[in-house]
Amino acid sequence: MTKLMTLLVILSVSAFANTAPNNFPHTSGQPNEQYTFVDFQSANYSIKYDVKNEKVSAFTKIVFKQSEAGIPLFDLVPQVTEIKLDGEIVKSKTVQSPDKVTSYKAALKTLAAGTHTLEIKNEIDKNVRFEKDGVQSAFWMSDLNDRRYLEQYIPSNIEFDQYKMTIELSFVNTIAKQTIYTNGKVVEKSNNTYVIDFPKYFTASSMFFHTATEGRFEEEKYDYTSINGRVFPVTVYSKSSIWGGGNVPKAVKGSKKVLKELEAKLGAWSHENLVIYVAGQGGMEHSGATITSLSALGHEITHSYFARGVMPIDGNSGWMDEAIASWRDDGYKSDSKPNFSSTKMAAHSQYQRTTDRKAYTQGANFMAYLNYNLKNIGGLETFLSNMYKKYTHKNINTELFRTELETFSGLNFEGDFNQYIYGQGKLDNSKEVRINPYHPQLSEKQLLELL
């Protein structure tokens, strides 16, 4: 009976790991109406930079499936200029989750279950700077603030959803040549017109996109041969003015060292490429790309394994990858017991979309505790290597992580997770949450300076 129950738990957890939050009632109180999370099948974006008129316009076509009747939800922070559902112009509005922990965009038409098409027009003005010789623009993101993924710029789904994305990019009314830095595959269709294809496992937090006038950055490219024999391209770039220059060769050397370390411990690199922007400040991970400082290089590349390789489904899952990367930063420590009493790192609202900041400290310490408990069977590194092999390019949640941990070890960690991760112990509120130096909070002005 115990073995049967364990199997059922594993199956149910695995099934849950790719599901959305619960749908919720329409605020009007109309019978049988609800806001409904949907499953994007594809998203095709057309983005035009009009340099002369200093305007960025986006047109998006999304094909999605809806499992229940209701008003479809997606997200887009900028104002919608036009929206159509199945060819019909409709209205949209921003709606809050039932507990008001976050917000979404709703296309205001009740749809039957099935496959539908969503078309949206909007303008982009965030992290864009026009200059006389071209434009500097990027999709900077953050997992520490709400609604700070792709939805800041163009329509996206919530982080649980993985879907194929394509951008057709054009620069008009300019003779300047643009450089594209991205973790997608770029094809130049014609002068200053490009198509970028992204893998189908990408989520709203995966994409890295930065365009700058040609020659703005110092860069170096090299090919890295993975432990499985696959060769993938690496691009490292930086402004020569940062710290007096010399950052690109330092990052090239450092990235080779980190890749060798991580491949030996966790497995072969799984992304199509690696793009590293040594920005001097800031720090954010993407799938096979990062904006980073030299000191944070190892931390951010680790996130292409856990965060943007094995990917969290929501804000209650994001603690794991920050804890893993911070544990690695601390030298793969081993502790016989946690040094804190309890946290709620994975006990927030199901609608939470941001990572609990305690992941950097208490979360890292919990990983050290797990490492101690697994010391006789290869330690946490062996478990994480197995997890990466099994869940590469898949979403996971905290319960799936715990279940896999117990299956791997034969130990019961339910009590530990309940106390230290789900907050069923006495919460220690005396410890100040440390801002991780690898993920500093940047102002809007600072973000513009990174362009």
Cα-based distances in Å from 377 to 27, 184, 381, 382, 413: 52, 38, 10, 8, 16
Confidence bin at 16 (pLDDT 50/70/90): very low
Confidence bin at 2 (pLDDT 50/70/90): very low
Residue 1 is predicted with a pLDDT of 32
For residue 131 the two structure tokens come to 């200059």
DSSP assigned state of 295: T
For residue 358 the two structure tokens come to 């305690």
Q: How far is Cα 175 from Cα 192, in angstroms, rounded to an integer?
A: 9
Confidence bin at 240 (pLDDT 50/70/90): confident
Residue 443 is predicted with a pLDDT of 82
Phi and psi, residue 18, nearest 5°: -115, 25
pLDDT per position as a tens digit, 148-186: 999 999 999 999 999 999 999 999 999 999 999 999 999
Given its phi and psi angles, is residue 288 left (phi above 0), alpha (psi -120 to 50 degrees) or beta? Answer: left
H helices, E strands: number in the chain: 9, 24
Q: How far is Cα 414 from Cα 37, in angstroms, rounded to an integer?
A: 30
Cβ neighbours, 10 Å, residue 244: 7
pLDDT per position as a tens digit, 197-238: 999 999 999 999 999 999 999 999 999 999 999 999 999 999
SS3 20: coil
* Lowest-pLDDT choice from 29-43, 58-72, 265-279, 380-394: 29-43
Q: How far is Cα 207 from Cα 138, in angstroms, rounded to an integer?
A: 11
CATH dotted code for 218-302: 3.30.2010.30
Confidence bin at 243 (pLDDT 50/70/90): low
Cα-based distances in Å from 375 to 5, 367, 384: 27, 12, 13
SS3 151: helix
Residue 304 is predicted with a pLDDT of 98
Cα-based distances in Å from 71 to 24, 63, 95: 10, 15, 11
Cβ neighbours, 10 Å, residue 351: 21
- Edge to edge, the sheet with strand 289-292 lists 218-225, 231-238, 274-278, 289-292, 284-286
CATH 2.60.40.1730 residue ranges of the chain are: 37-215
For residue 280 the two structure tokens come to 């001097």
pLDDT per position as a tens digit, 293-342: 999 999 999 999 999 999 999 999 999 999 999 999 999 999 999 999 99
Cβ neighbours, 10 Å, residue 44: 15
* Lowest-pLDDT choice from 138-142, 237-241, 307-311, 368-372: 237-241
Helix%, strand%, coil% for the chain, nearest 5: 25, 30, 45
Top CATH class, 37-215: mainly beta
* Lowest-pLDDT choice from 99-108, 289-298, 411-420, 432-441: 432-441
Q: How far is Cα 83 from Cα 8, in angstroms, rounded to an integer?
A: 43
For residue 116 the two structure tokens come to 């539908």
Q: How far is Cα 44 from Cα 62, in angstroms, rounded to an integer?
A: 6
Q: How far is Cα 279 from Cα 140, in angstroms, rounded to an integer?
A: 12
SS3 440: coil
Query: Is residue 7 a contact partner of residue 30, using CB atoms and an 8 Å limit?
Result: no
DSSP 269-294: --SS-EEEEE-SS--EEETTEEEE-S
Q: How far is Cα 363 from Cα 138, in angstroms, rounded to an integer?
A: 31
Query: Is residue 119 a contact partner of residue 59, using CB atoms and an 8 Å limit?
Result: yes
Mean pLDDT of 126-133: 93
